[in-house]
Amino acid sequence: MSEVMVLGAGMVGVSTALALQAAGRAVVLVDRQDPGRETSYGNAGIIQGEAVEPYGLPRDLVSLWRIVLGQDNAVSYHLNALPSHLEVLWRYFRASAPARHRHASQTYAGLIQRATNDHAPLIAAAGADKLIRRDGFRTAARSERPFAAQVAEAERLERSYGVRISVMDGDALAAAEPALKLRFAGAIHWHDGWTCSDPGALVAAYADLFRARGGKIASADAMLLQQDGAGWKLGPHQAADVVVALGPWSPMLLARFGYRIPLLRKRGYHRHFRGGATLDLPMMDTSIATVLAPMATGLRVLTGAELARPGAPPTPRQLARAETAAREILDLGDQVELQPWMGNRPCMPDMIPLVGQAPRHRGLWFHFGHGHQGFTLGPTTAALLAEHMSSGRAPIPALDPARRTG
């Protein structure tokens, strides 16, 4: 058995299949749906070359109290879900302490800073250049005080990591985005990000490339995975190695094999609008913590994070607030979808993905936990995993799954 099964056909899984294929392995890519139809479809479509530090949990009392009171639209929560999240939130809170966050950022920045270079050959080979722009995106603030704080933070990242930024005043932003009805205090143009007009289509293009190079794509329920002697079996497929790249569903599968993985599922929503105004580049309105991203389907309005029980019905309160705020700055036009899209971001409490061999099972490999950056980091961590599987040595030991599994 030389075949590798990759479970999950989002950006992370498809990138894994391509990387292993390039390393000479026979690969079958398995998912219940077509490639790129879950979290990899619903994001803001930004390959975030500027996101050199992971999103930490606020630790100051003012920010935490605003979250508790529902005053910060970046975070929403279901009260009945909090007991099941307490352990992982406590770990996240501790990992967000300044010294620990700086340590995590050393690993994270090294991954982020190679992300666009790792996407570039895949974009070219997949013929997907028409989906990509390479001129960044913006974050904008409505009032002077938060804008000044955001400029200071952006300039710190510029000094520390070489992130490329331009600071725009309100007039410059209005000239760049003439459809805006409201004058902002200013904006930061982040130049290192690449934007995609259809994230799901990019993942599908990568999957088509994998298939064109001789790879197999199969439909199956990954939760039926079984050990099979020295290898693994899923339906008719047998493999010496299996890679779990199921994003937020990965811990559910791995619990069957005795692994307890403290992963935080952050729900997010989006809805498209068409027939009104749009933007030239994606823009985050930091006053309401929403991203407005021009897409092939229309202008995509996206939310921050929601904490809920698995399977809980949608409660798009954040999206309603985001839409109200977006209508203050743009003539949105009509809703495209009757119901908003909802997905889950798989976030490890230490903010670093799990990439490598399972601690207690031969031939079982982990590749998930990318949080907000699976779309960005899929090809990068896939290349590292393929190197590990080929050489037996982990290129970046900090990604070792043994650090966060029970």
CATH of the domain at 327: 3.30.9.10
Residue 209 clears pLDDT 50, i.e. is over it: yes
* Domain's final residue, options 308, 328, 347: 347
Cα→Cα distances 66→10, 54, 59, 96, 143, Å: 34, 21, 12, 18, 18
Per the domain annotation, does 147 fall within a domain?
Answer: yes
Per the domain annotation, does 88 fall within a domain?
Answer: yes
pTM: 0.96
Write out the H or E segment, with its range, that includes residue 324: helix 317-329
Query: Per-residue pLDDT averaged across 174-178, rounded?
Result: 98
- Single out the residue of 374, 180, 371, 195 nearest to residue 285, CA to CA: 180
Reported confidence tier of residue 38, pLDDT bands at 50, 70, 90: confident
Per the domain annotation, does 102 fall within a domain?
Answer: no
- In tens, the pLDDT along 333-358 reads 999 999 999 999 999 999 999 999 99
Query: Per-residue pLDDT averaged across 83-87, rounded?
Result: 93
CATH of the domain at 28: 3.50.50.60
Residue 1 clears pLDDT 60, i.e. is over it: no
Tokens 């003012």 label which residue?
Answer: 62
Residue 301 clears pLDDT 70, i.e. is over it: yes
Query: Per-residue pLDDT averaged across 246-250, rounded?
Result: 97
Structure tokens, 283 = 């823009």
Reported confidence tier of residue 36, pLDDT bands at 50, 70, 90: confident
- In tens, the pLDDT along 122-174 reads 999 999 999 999 999 999 999 999 999 999 999 999 999 999 999 999 999 99
Per the domain annotation, does 108 fall within a domain?
Answer: no
Reported confidence tier of residue 2, pLDDT bands at 50, 70, 90: low
How far is 27 from 30, CA to CA, in rounded Å?
Answer: 10
Q: Name the residue range of residue 326's domain.
A: 55-96+134-194+266-347
Per the domain annotation, does 126 fall within a domain?
Answer: no
Kindly give the interhelix angle for 199-212 and 115-125, rounded to the nearest 10 degrees. 60
Residues 244 and 364 in one domain: yes
Residues 166 and 65 in one domain: yes
Residues 187 and 81 in one domain: yes
- Domain total for the chain? 2
Looking at 77-114, list the stretches that DSSP marks H as alpha helix, in order from N- to C-terminal side: 82-95, 98-112
Per the domain annotation, does 181 fall within a domain?
Answer: yes
Percent of the chain predicted with pLDDT > 90: 93
Residue 406 clears pLDDT 70, i.e. is over it: no
